[in-house]
Structure 1
Amino acid sequence: MALDVRIFETISPSRFISFTIPNPISPIHLLRVAVLDTPVHCTESSPPRVAAILVPKHRESDWIFSTESGHLQLLLNLPDISRLILIGDDHDGGSDLPAVYHRPTGEDDESESLEMRLKPLVVALSPKTLIREEIDDVPFLIYDDNVVSSVVLEKSVGPFVGEMLIEDVEIEIEDGVREFRRRLRFKRMPNLVQSDIKIIPSSCSNSSLPLTGTEFKLHLTELVHPYLAPMVASLSLIGSDIYELKSRPKALCIGVGGGGLLSFLRLQLGFEVTGVEIDPEVLRIARQYFGLEESLARVHVEDGIEFLKRLSTSCDDDAKFDVLMVDLDSTDPIHGMTAPPVEFVAKDVLQAARKVLVPSGVFIINVIPPNKTFYHELQDQFRHVFDELHEIDVGNGENFVLIATVTPRDSKSGFNRANLTPAVSDNYLDAIQKI
């Protein structure tokens, strides 16, 4: 059945349609066209705007471009755009993700020619409320990230997180400087790297080595995920009696992911580490691919909220923790990724969290607020239960680290700069602010 383009005359919130057309440059090949409308209702004061993206060559089957959830995250990162049109080669439906990807080198003259040939299509897919000047001005945006090459190690399915992907990548961290990473991504939010660690070629540190055929070793004593170093810097607010009457400080981590934080706390800072992870398949991946050994952390496969509530009713003073670190997220169709899940900051959960901490302890949590109102309300929830509240702005335009203390802090601390540097940057230690 032919597609009636009249359905595109208006914005229909969250409508997602994909179809194929012959490639105007190479008619024997097909292009996949995917059209997504914003989940936010347009108003007369905010007329619809349209943009198109040509999917990067050889990445057409990446979940970022081939799934509705990936498309949605691209759209949500363009707050002024009401309809986003993705156009790329139609990949083989039998292969979900390419095993190996290499960024094309040299000029791509075909993309410029393809844009010119596809302009009438973009016009046909634009709402009729757009005036002629607006239609002529519909931009073709360029998707660009730092991935130079990648190789898929495994695709798996967890009972709670769903489909996930483990991959080794070579990234460009700045001009001329590249680094190898091992990453974990979830299909429900493919644009977000859930966990990553640095990997180093076993034979040498030559970053020009290929991903395939090279043996790598894990580098577990350096944190590369953007908000983990700020979370570790927050340990400077643990009370000054951290080392009194105990051989090791104790950390409880809810949300394990790849386990990089847990391994770092044990190997670099000497903590006794307990973890809680709801999905057993995620834990299996953390141990198989990310170096989380049983000797480094004791991990419970359980819902984090249920674990906290149960522990708060049974643990004595000797079983309490010096720090509780929480890294959990949730998704919704309007805001995309948020952290933490709303249910985790309910008053009874925060009270349970306080009960499992020693008086000198701190509660450290990664926050991705969808808006300022959410963030201020979350802070108020913490203030009702904890004594003091501090924050670190991670500086990536997305994450904040909140630190709540059980009792007031004095000028001394158990983890001063000598303890934490060079493990984390002075910049993060200086960025801690009481709020």
Structure 2
Amino acid sequence: MAIEAVDYPKVAAMLVPKNREKDWIFTTEAGHLQLLLSSRGISRLILIGNTPVCDEYAVQTYRKSVEKDPTYMEKLERSLFPLLMALLPKEVAERGNCEVPFLSYEDNVISSVIIERCVGPCVGEMLVEDVEIEGPGRVFRRRLRFKRLPNLVQTEILIVPNGVDDDCFNPLQIEEVKFCPDLGVLVHPYLAPMVAGLSLISGHIQELFQSGVKPRAFCLGVGGGALLSFLSKQLGFEVIGVELDDVVLTVAKQYFGLQPGRGIQIYVGDGIDILKQMSCCENGNESFPLVVKNVRNDSCGNVVDVFRSKFDVLIVDLDSSDYKMGISAPALEFVQKDVLLAAKWSLSEHGILVLNAIPPNRSFYDTLIQKLQEVFADMHEIDCGNEENFVLIAFVSPNNFNPATSENAFMGKLKSVISRAFMDSIKKI
């Protein structure tokens, strides 16, 4: 007689890092779900930590603690064993000889301090934090996170001490230093690969510059604005950004160095809706409506005529707002056929769509590629190397890129500000 195997819940415990007990990662349903999804093979995760300090006015600072006692974990696991047994599902406990492995939460943060908390009408609660990360010397970043997806860093930029010489700086703690943004380098894992995708149309971009025309980039999703600032200041693009939440834009300007004005124009509205409105123009008509509905300029009430001409690159960085899907991108609303057709219509003949993809599983990724291939001519991919992000590049027209003949002034500039490794890793799908 065959005995049916019973698939019992697999249980593990995780220690919450000291002084991070109030972090949304460990206190929200969205954070818990993502911790569980990232713990492969585990169906129940027991979080263990100290009682968080409830002083709302205290500076919320974290410093990684290093346990000097090599037997600390062994002693802790032994002392917590009765508690963990009491928390096991009944069917697991009844089997006897139970083991509950201890998982540790690891990241590269040495210390952090929260410098702003606010609430946006669309994204909800968000925070800005300065972090010191592991690396050669002292390395500092500024990050933007949303409570609805606390495990996902929305924006990350390099920051440098402001007005402090090296001798005075080294002994200081992170909360004792004032920082300023350094926008000359992209540190967020997928932004440099996105920019590397421009190498595939370097000839077209070079021709634009030679004729005295700035290439035009349309960015759906602004966040902290690091990519927009880089495209404008480092590569000379005319950049149009659309962000759904005006509070996010306020944070971007105040803390992340985003400076709308010459070279960068920012609008508050739904980027997907804008694409649809743009595509509603008559076929062959290069003139879009002078005013796009339900959109306003970030600095004034009138929408100027920035959507009249087509774009050379459409950059999409829109993650899913449904935390129950885990961390995933793009938003499902973007990959509908009518939206993809509108995206293609917004681009010039030699234009490209550059898309940040965070696939929660292989099926999601394969379906995404299939939907893009139904609309666009050619597809390329860049693996960002962090086991999470992929950059997809889709062409309006068949791609005739030849690396042997691609050298020009723009390509030289691109190679001076972006690692060549990302360009070399581009592969056709």
Which secondary structure does the structure 1 equivalent of 2:134 belong to? strand
How far apart are the structure 1 equivalents of 2:227 and 2:161? 22
The equivalent residue for 2:201 is 238
Structure 1 residue 74, shift from structure 2 partner: 1.0
| TM-score with structure 1 setting the length | 0.84
Aligned: 1:178 with 2:138: yes
How far apart are the structure 2 equivalents of 1:261 and 1:381? 26
Greater mean deviation of Cα atoms: 390-399 or 138-147? 138-147
Structure 1 residue 227, shift from structure 2 partner: 0.4
How far apart are the structure 1 equivalents of 2:128 and 2:357? 24
Contact 2:157 2:182 in 1 (8 A): yes
Aligned: 1:289 with 2:255: yes
Which secondary structure does the structure 2 equivalent of 1:330 belong to? coil
The equivalent residue for 2:329 is 339
C-alpha distance 144-344 of structure 1, shift in aligned 2 (>3 A)? same
C-alpha distance 98-365 of structure 1, shift in aligned 2 (>3 A)? same
Q: Which amino acid aligns with 2:157?
A: I
Q: Which amino acid aligns with 2:251?
A: I
Structure 1 residue 220, shift from structure 2 partner: 0.3
Contact 2:12 2:42 in 1 (8 A): yes
How far apart are the structure 2 equivalents of 1:134 and 1:186? 42
Structure 2 unaligned residues grouped into runs of 5+: 288-307
Greater mean deviation of Cα atoms: 291-300 or 222-231? 291-300
Per-residue CA deviation, residues 386-408 of structure 1 (Å, 9 max, x unaligned), is 11011111111111100001111
The equivalent residue for 1:381 is 371
Aligned: 1:271 with 2:258: no
Which secondary structure does the structure 1 equivalent of 2:131 belong to? strand
The equivalent residue for 2:422 is 428
How far apart are the structure 2 equivalents of 1:326 and 1:97? 38
Contact 2:202 2:410 in 1 (8 A): no
The equivalent residue for 1:71 is 32
- The structure where helix makes up a greater share of residues is 2
User: Within 5 Å, which residues of 2 pair with 1:9-408?
Assistant: 46-93=7-54, 95=56, 99-107=60-68, 112-130=74-92, 136-173=98-135, 176-202=136-162, 203-204=164-165, 209-238=172-201, 240-242=203-205, 243-244=207-208, 245-295=211-261, 296-314=263-281, 316=286, 319-332=309-322, 334-408=324-398
Which secondary structure does the structure 1 equivalent of 2:175 belong to? coil
C-alpha distance 321-97 of structure 1, shift in aligned 2 (>3 A)? farther
Percent identical pairs in the alignment equals: 51
Aligned residues: 391
Structure 1 unaligned residues grouped into runs of 5+: 1-42
Contact 2:30 2:324 in 1 (8 A): no
How far apart are the structure 2 equivalents of 1:305 and 1:423? 30
Structure 1 residue 133, shift from structure 2 partner: 7.6
C-alpha distance 89-300 of structure 1, shift in aligned 2 (>3 A)? same
Contact 1:239 1:360 in 2 (8 A): no
- The structure where strand makes up a greater share of residues is 1
C-alpha distance 255-135 of structure 1, shift in aligned 2 (>3 A)? farther
The equivalent residue for 2:295 is none
How far apart are the structure 1 equivalents of 2:57 and 2:198? 42
